[in-house]
Chains A and B, each alone.
Chain A
């Protein structure tokens, strides 16, 4: 009998270990695939020409493989999205966590979560049908499908990520800080801006970085609303072609094993490295934050 439970325990252990390591296997598999499919490109194209080249003409008779316009497009669109998702996301977190009454909280939190559950295609529709025509009229543009539209929609999409992570950071700030502030005669606004927010500061930065990495990796929406022109953007009102939408748009037409195919995988690799770096920074900042507040010390 005793032997039997021991064996059972071993099986459980083994099973869970396998489960835990499976994600590692998937990760390794994906990285290997990315490397295997992207590296052949660099037998024909110099790495620096690939990253800094200003022309992306993969299907021209003399193809050019510069993804600088695509990187800049991703960068601009993400930056623009930050202007939307940081104030709105952090602001809603502050409101929900620090100001709202219990009844409002019960109502607001699920509402923001619903925002996260809308499929990105639907956001894309919204961008095409509502935001783009509006901006086209407002700025007198040839097309409303541009970096600004993509930024706005991506910004809205990243609000739930930023908000819920910022809220986590706020809930890590001990109530004793708030009490101490009120006890010396600070009002609610001063307590929020001068004690709570700074104490939650690096936690909130983590939220922002992860919101960015969410925005930079988003594909469907930008494919639908960013406009798609592979030029280095000089204004938010120009159509742009971020990395993700390039891959999505061209993968179907690229011949398997061709240079174009390899180049698209290389873009994927670059994107992967960028988000990896974002997530690592977020992780580091988050650790520092917990140390600063004396959590898990």
Chain B
């Protein structure tokens, strides 16, 4: 057990390797509960690598290796005796490109429950409705739950993916550039949603959009070439960055 219990999630001395390539270098980060943490940095600096580690999605990449610890409520989730399935139920992930299954809207959301052996039909139905409401999609799809999810618009698909994630009952939500393929209006809806979800969940979001980071996040981490260069209150990072490289990136001088 780790003693710092006030952090919801905590990364300690993380080093990450794709084969021989070291993609993350000695990362320490502590993520407070019920906040939004933004991860920013130029392409290829290791943002996705980092957040995929937080729910053990990195294990899908053959030849990758991680050193260090990631604590969730004080428990080390990288411990090999812990089941990745349990970790992913507590720490959900939404991807850059909306990726609903080619199934109905209802099935998309119930999937996470049925694979986790929930059999009670009434419970599943209630959960589907609840998740769609939480993801601010219910009003748009309540009459077409049997439609194929691929017929939804991109923005609706992304909110469906969020609902799918919520149905499993996670505590932490990871977003990897969730708005990268969306129009400004859909983006606005997702940002609004994040601020709403923050009340009940802890959120980590990777974004290339500085305004977005400033709008939605409480804390910001700036990555550069696999290192966490600066980590602190969003307001401080955007108004008075301590590091020259952070400043250069934020003001758009590189990246």
Chain A interface residues toward B at CB < 8 A = 101-102, 174, 176-187, 190, 194-195, 198-199, 292-294
Which listed residue (A185, A190, A199, A294) contacts B101, Cβ 8 A?
A199
Given contact pairs A102-B62, A185-B168, A176 touches B85 in the complex (Cβ within 8 A): no
Let me know if B99 and A177 touch, CB within 8 A: yes
Measured between alpha carbons, how far is A187 from B55 in the docked complex, in Å? 14
Let me know if A184 and B112 touch, CB within 8 A: yes
B100 and chain A: residue at smallest CB distance: A180
Q: How far is the CB of B151 from the nearest CB of chain A, in Å? A: 11
Complex interface: chain A residues within 8 A of B17 (CB) = none
Let me know if A184 and B95 touch, CB within 8 A: no
B182 within 8 A of A: no
Which listed residue (A102, A184, A186, A293) contacts B102, Cβ 8 A?
A293
**Partner-binding segment picked from B67-75, B86-94, B133-141, B199-207:** B86-94
Given contact pairs A102-B62, A174-B99, A185-B89, A194 touches B168 in the complex (Cβ within 8 A): no
Measured between alpha carbons, how far is A186 from B165 in the docked complex, in Å? 12
Write out, one digit per residue, whether chain B residues 133-174 have a CB within 8 A of any chain A CB (1) or not (0).
000000000000000001000000000010011011000000
Let me know if B168 and A184 touch, CB within 8 A: yes
Let me know if B150 and A183 touch, CB within 8 A: no
Given contact pairs A102-B62, A199-B101, A176 touches B95 in the complex (Cβ within 8 A): yes
B97 within 8 A of A: yes
Q: How many A-B residue pairs have CB under 8 A?
A: 71
Complex interface: chain A residues within 8 A of B103 (CB) = 198
Measured between alpha carbons, how far is A101 from B62 in the docked complex, in Å? 9
Complex interface: chain B residues within 8 A of A190 (CB) = 115
Complex interface: chain A residues within 8 A of B93 (CB) = 183
A187 and chain B: residue at smallest CB distance: B85
Measured between alpha carbons, how far is A184 from B88 in the docked complex, in Å? 6
Given contact pairs A176-B97, A194-B115, A182 touches B165 in the complex (Cβ within 8 A): no
Measured between alpha carbons, how far is A183 from B89 in the docked complex, in Å? 8
The DSSP consensus for interface residues of chain A is: helix
Question: Considering the complex of A and B, which 7 residue pairs feature the smallest CB-CB distances, nearest first?
Answer: A184-B112, A176-B99, A186-B115, A185-B89, A183-B93, A185-B88, A180-B99
Which listed residue (B92, B100, B102) contacts A183, Cβ 8 A?
B92
Measured between alpha carbons, how far is A198 from B150 in the docked complex, in Å? 15
B57 within 8 A of A: yes
Complex interface: chain B residues within 8 A of A199 (CB) = 101-102
Q: What would 11 A/B residue contacts be, using CB atoms closer than 8 Å? A: A177-B99, A177-B102, A179-B57, A180-B99, A180-B164, A181-B111, A181-B115, A182-B88, A184-B92, A195-B111, A294-B150
Let me know if A185 and B97 touch, CB within 8 A: no
- Name which of A184, A190, A194, A199 has the most chain B CB atoms within 10 A of its CB: A184
Given contacts A180-B101, A184-B164, 16 further A-B contacts (CB under 8 A): A102-B62, A174-B99, A179-B57, A179-B95, A179-B99, A181-B101, A181-B115, A183-B92, A183-B93, A184-B88, A185-B86, A185-B89, A186-B85, A186-B112, A195-B111, A199-B102
Complex interface: chain B residues within 8 A of A187 (CB) = 85, 115
B240 within 8 A of A: no
B60 within 8 A of A: yes
B116 within 8 A of A: yes
Complex interface: chain B residues within 8 A of A294 (CB) = 150
Measured between alpha carbons, how far is A208 from B85 in the docked complex, in Å? 34
Complex interface: chain A residues within 8 A of B161 (CB) = 180
Let me know if A185 and B116 touch, CB within 8 A: yes
Which listed residue (A178, A185, A198) contacts B112, Cβ 8 A?
A185
Q: How far is the CB of A252 from the nearest CB of chain B, in Å? A: 53
Complex interface: chain B residues within 8 A of A174 (CB) = 99
